[in-house]
């Protein structure tokens, strides 16, 4: 009985911290509609700041706690709301998720950059060593303080929301934003208050939990993310139910740790120890299954319309040929170590490509691409131990089956809850399933002791898989150069397969489901079928990518397929355009070829930092860099053959001089960067010059006096149009010359406007 009381008290202390975190998360989501995936990272900021002030500078713990709660927490909330979240109004759920995930990645990278993660950081509690005895158990005074703070926070939030004008405004703005604005309420002020309170609760929770765990950015962020289960129990609306969820979560974790985690004498204990670490995500997954079906509702109007252009066979063929030929040409240039790192490019690119049909076309949110990839690597290692080529096919099929099974219980959920379900799956695989010790897989005739099949299975053999590179048609692909080229060929074939999918009936159904779920259901289509198909296809592609990534690493550990790695891939794909089949190429090159980190080891956090900086700006560019920036910038070059040929000739010449070792690799890299930066700008300059000349020539042919440029009022301001753009086709006629000018300005060719 005394053990039970002790575990219960421990669980209530943990529940108190979870309640503080979950209530702040619920408040932010309920008042702004943005689910903050970086909530745990805010807690990490609080923990690191508190450690620095108390242990690094020797400040009084109470003073440090006060500064964290009064200054750091509200400051984080106000800055994040003003600088990032305010621009997300009118964007899609995918963009909002990617921005908050980018913020999570950026904060973790920043903390690791400021504080060396290799240095252990121990935080002392506010009241060290003091304890009282309750029900025969020694209860630290610090734990009593934590529970008291949780009660005060809960009561304060309840009083704010139901007894204070600011809280009533927060609840009212969710019900009818336009009506509350008409009554003189500022939505900006309300959002700032909400984010300030939410960030403060996270920082407070980080300070309170720091003495109970190691202060590490990634692990602390994930630990606080366990409180998501409590918020889901409250359906991200109800604070009392959220507190109840926190109590269930805290007690479940404490009982599991006490009765299973610390009892090596119970049967199967070595298999259940890892289960203790994933109790919160199991509670999350179970809570999601009790949520009601997603209600059909009209999509909210979006300020930024998402673009999803259909790839053409011609465009994809050109892209595939360029990928393979460029890979063949570039493999002789890097040093042996750099070439080995580059072998991961196409594995990561395939994993990134798996997100295009699922997120970009079907609009189903998922954050577990690396979990599916790990399934593919495991299947290849176990079923194709000699590098048989059909191991890739088995990897894809097995991962597709896992993806389909995962989607069955999640198909009825809203996009946000579906993303949380996939996060629970990824964390469970990362922290438990992939780290299981060896076990016997037995198929036995029922009611007998006769075994039909018996095989010992060790998922990650000795902590690391042995993934042999494939042998195809007698060709040994074990060398880095051959394997890199093979990966490019596989990726090119995957591009053709996805192009066929995008142009098929199933592809159109995916787009329709994303564009209007209510319209999709109205015409009699079942979203569950399309969701399961999208998950299976996405997981299958990720499984093949995982097999290639495992072959590139050769001895991958479970950490190679960690949860945070999958988040980075997702964010980079969304940055470049999650609906474009070209974005995974950029993701593979960017994430697998960390040039800055290789040259300057002190910049090890440069890749996640750059990812975060680009990701938090998605509110201004929700369609991604390819659709909004790269494609319009480069479209004019296809009509400027001299410029395109000249620039390409310079790059080719620099390649051959580098290949002949006349110049260094950096010269070729500089030439490529200059090509990418200069060519679009030169194309725009030439287009404007040609447009000005044509406008003057057209006016001269019409018998008008051109004179100097100042004699042509509006010529520059109107970009060569016959009148200001806002008046054309409204109060003034729109001529064929105006149409041609607009086409050229917008970069619209004579084709159907579709590109890869």
First to last CA, the chain: 67
Task: Name the strand (E) or helix (H) holding 443.
Answer: strand 439-444
Q: What is the pLDDT of residue 599?
A: 54
Domain end, chosen from 564, 588, 618, is at 618
- Tell me what pLDDT residue 750 has: 44
Span 469-497, average pLDDT: 91
Q: Is the pLDDT reported for residue 19 higher than 80?
A: yes
**How many other C-beta atoms lie within 10 A of the C-beta of residue 602?**
9
Encode pLDDT of 696-746 as tens digits: 666 565 555 444 444 344 444 466 676 667 666 665 667 777 777 777 777
Q: Give the pLDDT confidence score for residue 558 in this predicted structure.
A: 92
**pLDDT at position 104, please?**
95
756 and 707 both lie in a single domain: no
Q: Are residues 526 and 660 in the same domain?
A: no
**Pick from 587, 618, 649: which residue ends a domain?**
618
Question: How much is the pLDDT for 708?
Answer: 43
208 and 164 inside one domain: yes
Residue 627 forms part of a structural domain? no
The per-residue DSSP string of 455-474 comes to EEE-SSGGGS---PPPEETT
pLDDT at 362: 92
| Same domain as 426, residue 412 | yes
Domain contains 634: no
Position 592 scores a pLDDT of 85
Both tokens assigned to 90: 């009118």
Among the ranges given (27-36, 134-143, 410-419, 602-611), the one the predictor scored with the smallest mean pLDDT:
602-611
Query: Do 85 and 157 fall within a single domain?
Result: yes
SS3 content of the chain, % helix, strand, coil (to 5): 70, 5, 25
Q: In Å, how far from its chain's centre is CA 389? A: 31
**The residue to which tokens 């949110």 are assigned:** 365
SS3 at position 20: helix
Q: Is residue 252 part of a domain?
A: no
Grouping H, G, I as helix, E, B as strand and the rest as coil, residue 478 is coil
Q: Output the average pLDDT for the chain.
A: 85
Instruction: Match 């410029």 to its residue by tokens.
Output: 643
CA-closest candidate to residue 14, choices 266, 291, 223: 223
Same domain, 738 and 705: no
Q: Are 205 and 38 in contact (CB under 8 A)?
A: no
User: What is the rounded CA–CA span in Å between residue 563 and residue 219?
Assistant: 11
Assess whether 447 and 592 both reside in one domain. yes
Token digits of residue 510: 């995916």
Residue 443 pairs in a beta bridge with 453
Per residue in 280-333, pLDDT (tens digit) is 999 998 998 888 766 655 555 454 556 678 889 999 999 999 999 999 999 999
210 domain residue, yes or no: yes
CATH code of residue 599 = 1.10.3470
User: How far is residue 524's CA from residue 512's CA, in Å, rounded to a whole number?
Assistant: 12
Q: What is the pLDDT of residue 439?
A: 82
Instruction: Among 183, 198, 226, give the residue marking a domain's end.
Output: 226
Please identify which residue in the block is written with the tokens 């990617």: 98
Residue 140 has pLDDT above 50, yes or no: yes
pLDDT of residue 313: 93
678 and 749 both lie in a single domain: no
Residue 31 lies in a domain: yes
Buried b (16+ CB within 10 A) or exposed e, 394-424: bbbbbbbebbbebbeebbbbbbbbbbbbbbb
Q: Please check whether residues 724 and 597 belong to one and the same domain.
A: no
Task: Give the mean model confidence (pLDDT) for residues 347-364.
Answer: 95
Task: Give Cα separations from 327 to 318, 493, 668 (angstroms).
Answer: 14, 15, 15
Q: What is the pLDDT of residues 48-74, one digit of tens each?
A: 999 999 999 999 999 999 999 999 999
Q: What is the pLDDT of residue 637?
A: 77
Specify if 115 maps to a domain: yes
pLDDT at residue number 751: 42
Name which of 560, 289, 579, 519 is nearest 413 in CA terms.
Answer: 289
372 part of a folded domain: yes
Of the candidates 206, 229, 210, the residue with the CA atom closest to the CA atom of residue 42: 206
Q: For the segment 629-651, what is each residue's pLDDT rounded down to a tens digit?
A: 777 777 777 778 888 889 999 99
Mean pLDDT is highest, among 57-61, 469-473, 674-678, for 57-61
In this predicted structure, the answer to whether residue 753 has a pLDDT above a threshold of 50 is no
The position carrying tokens 């409204």 is 730
Residues 692 and 580 in one domain: no
- Tokens linked to 507: 């592809």
DSSP codes joined into one string, 631-692: HHHHHGGGG-HHHHHHHHHHHHHHHHHHHTTSS-HHHHHHHHHHHHHHHHHHHHHHHHHHHH
Q: Which of 430-434, 469-473, 644-648, 751-755 has the lowest mean pLDDT?
A: 751-755
- Predicted local confidence at residue 506, as pLDDT: 94
The verdict on residue 304 lying in a domain is: no
Query: Is residue 552 helix, strand or coil?
Result: helix
Higher model confidence: residue 697 or residue 249?
249
Q: How far apart are CA 227 and CA 222, in angstroms?
A: 9
* Beta carbons of 352 and 569 less than 8 angstroms apart: yes
Domain count, the chain: 4
Pick from 543, 131, 559, 234: which is nearest to 376 by CA?
543
Q: Comparing C-alpha atoms, which of 203, 174, 231, 255 is closest to residue 26? A: 231
547 with 443, same domain: the answer is yes
Residue the block writes with tokens 């393979």: 324
Residues 595 and 706 in one domain: no
pLDDT band at 752 (very low <50, low <70, confident <90, very high): very low
Give the domain extent around 344: 313-618
- Beta strands 475-476 and 131-134 are unpaired
179-208 pLDDT, tens per residue? 778 877 888 888 899 999 999 999 999 999
Q: Are 588 and 345 in contact (CB under 8 A)?
A: yes
In the prediction, which pLDDT does 600 show? 53
């Amino acid at each position: 009985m005394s053990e039970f009381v002790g575990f219960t008290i421990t669980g209530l202390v943990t529940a108190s911290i979870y309640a503080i975190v979950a209530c702040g998360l619920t408040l932010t989501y309920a008042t702004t509609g943005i689910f903050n995936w970086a909530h745990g990272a805010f807690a990490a900021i609080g923990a690191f700041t508190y450690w620095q002030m108390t242990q690094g500078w020797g400040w009084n713990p109470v003073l440090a706690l006060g500064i964290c709660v009064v200054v750091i927490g509200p400051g984080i909330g106000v800055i994040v709301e003003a600088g990032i979240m305010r621009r997300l109004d009118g964007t899609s759920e995918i963009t909002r998720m990617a921005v908050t995930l980018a913020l999570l990645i950026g904060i973790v990278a920043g903390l690791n950059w400021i504080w060396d993660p290799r240095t252990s950081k121990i935080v002392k509690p506010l009241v060290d060593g003091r304890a009282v005895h309750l029900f025969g158990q020694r209860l630290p005074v610090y734990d009593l303080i934590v529970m008291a703070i949780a009660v005060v926070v809960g009561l304060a939030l309840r009083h704010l929301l139901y007894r204070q004008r600011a809280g009533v405004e927060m609840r009212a703005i969710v019900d009818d934003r336009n009506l509350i604005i008409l009554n003189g309420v500022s939505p900006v002020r309300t959002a700032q208050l909400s984010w300030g309170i939410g960030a403060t609760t996270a920082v407070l929770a980080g300070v309170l939990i720091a003495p109970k765990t190691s202060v590490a950015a990634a692990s602390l962020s994930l630990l606080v993310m366990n409180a998501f289960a409590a918020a889901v129990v409250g359906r991200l609306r109800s604070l009392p139910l959220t507190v109840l969820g926190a109590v269930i979560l805290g007690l479940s974790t404490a009982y599991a740790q006490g009765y299973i985690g610390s009892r090596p004498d119970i049967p199967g204990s070595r298999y259940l120890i890892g289960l203790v670490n994933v109790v919160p995500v199991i509670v999350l997954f179970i809570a999601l299954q009790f949520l009601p079906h997603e209600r059909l509702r009209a999509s909210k109007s979006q300020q930024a319309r998402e673009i999803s252009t259909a790839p053409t066979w011609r465009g994809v063929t050109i892209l595939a040929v360029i990928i393979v030929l460029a890979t063949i040409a570039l493999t002789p240039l890097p040093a042996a170590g750099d070439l080995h790192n580059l072998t991961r490019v196409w594995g990561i690119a395939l994993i990134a490509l798996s997100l295009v049909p699922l997120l970009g076309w079907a609009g189903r949110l998922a954050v577990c691409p690396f979990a599916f990839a790990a399934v593919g690597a495991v299947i290849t290692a176990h079923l194709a131990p000699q590098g048989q080529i059909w191991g890739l096919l088995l990897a894809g099929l097995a991962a597709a089956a896992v993806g389909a099974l995962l989607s069955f219980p999640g198909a009825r959920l809203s996009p946000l809850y579906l993303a949380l379900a996939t996060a629970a799956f990824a964390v469970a695989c990362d922290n438990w399933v992939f780290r299981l010790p060896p076990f016997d897989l037995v198929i036995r005739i029922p009611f007998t002791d006769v075994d039909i099949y018996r095989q010992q299975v060790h998922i990650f053999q000795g902590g690391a898989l042995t993934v042999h590179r494939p042998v195809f048609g007698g060709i040994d692909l074990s060398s880095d150069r051959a394997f890199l080229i093979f990966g490019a060929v596989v990726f090119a074939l995957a591009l053709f397969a996805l192009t066929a999918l995008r142009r098929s009936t199933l592809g159109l159904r995916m787009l329709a489901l994303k564009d209007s779920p209510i319209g999709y259901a109205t015409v009699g289509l079942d979203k569950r079928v399309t969701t399961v198909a999208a998950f299976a296809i996405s997981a299958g592609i990720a499984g093949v990518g995982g097999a290639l990534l495992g072959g590139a690493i050769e001895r991958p550990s479970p950490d190679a397929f960690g949860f945070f790695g999958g988040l980075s891939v997702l964010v980079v794909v969304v940055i470049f355009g999650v609906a474009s089949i070209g974005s995974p190429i950029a993701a593979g090159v960017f994430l697998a070829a960390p040039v800055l980190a290789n040259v300057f080891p002190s910049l090890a956090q440069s890749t996640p930092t750059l990812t975060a900086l680009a990701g938090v700006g998605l509110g201004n560019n929700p369609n991604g860099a390819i659709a909004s920036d790269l494609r319009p910038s480069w479209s004019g070059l296809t009509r400027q053959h001299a410029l395109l040929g000249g620039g390409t000739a310079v790059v080719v010449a620099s390649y051959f001089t580098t290949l002949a070792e006349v110049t260094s690799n950096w010269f070729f890299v500089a030439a490529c960067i200059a090509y990418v930066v200069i060519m679009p700008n030169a194309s725009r300059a030439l287009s404007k010059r040609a447009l000005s000349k044509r406008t003057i020539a057209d006016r001269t042919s019409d018998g008008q006096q051109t004179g100097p440029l100042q004699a042509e009022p509006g010529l520059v301001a109107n970009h060569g149009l016959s009148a200001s753009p806002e008046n054309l086709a409204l109060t003034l006629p729109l001529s064929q010359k105006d149409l041609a000018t607009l086409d050229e300005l917008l970069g619209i060719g004579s084709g159907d406007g579709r590109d890869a």
